[in-house]
Every structure is written in C-alpha cells, then in structure tokens.
C-alpha cells in the first residue's frame, strides 16, 4: 500500500487514506468552525474544503481564531 506524506503545522505524517481537506479535519477531530486553513501557502476558502483533495507532499497550516482584548 502506497504511503503519501503530508505536512501539518510543520510535522510530517504518512497516510494511506483518501482525504479532502474537510474529511481530514473531521478525521483529526478539529472544530472546523474556528479554523483557518493555509493549504500549500494559500488561505483556502471554507467552501473549497470539501472538494480540495489531499495529495502527496501537501503542506497544511491550521490556524485557530482566538479572542482577546
């Protein structure tokens, strides 16, 4: 079985499953309503998460929205 590499927040992971950005976030247990996704150096609009497929050597940075004062 082929293993692909994905970098999430600077950490490399091997994966064999087929994922979209949205299905990956759900699989990992993230609360998607408070995330911003940087996909290969570009902010990925939320409406494209379900149709953007993860491929070998992709890099994702997950940013959360934080309140403060």
Tell me the pTM.
0.87
What is the structure's pLDDT at 56?
95
Quick check: 58 and 65 in contact, CB under 8 A?
no
**Backbone angles phi and psi of 28, in degrees to 5:** -80, -10
| More confidently predicted of 22 and 3 | 22
pLDDT in tens, 5-43: 999 999 999 988 899 999 999 999 998 988 999 999 999
What does 1-64 look like in DSSP terms, one character per residue? ---EEEEETTEEEEE-S--BHHHHHHHHT--GGGEEEEETTEEEPGGGTTT-B--TTEEEEEEE
The token pair at 8 is: 């999430």
Domains of the chain: residue spans and CATH: 4-64 (3.10.20.30)
What is the structure's pLDDT at 64?
87
């Amino acid at each position: 079985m082929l293993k692909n590499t994905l970098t999430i927040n600077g950490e490399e992971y091997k994966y064999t499953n087929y994922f979209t950005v949205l299905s990956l976030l759900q699989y990992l247990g993230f609360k998607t309503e408070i995330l911003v996704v940087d996909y290969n150096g570009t902010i990925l609009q939320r409406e494209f998460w379900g149709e953007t497929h993860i491929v070998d050597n992709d890099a994702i940075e997950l940013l959360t929205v934080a309140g403060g004062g």
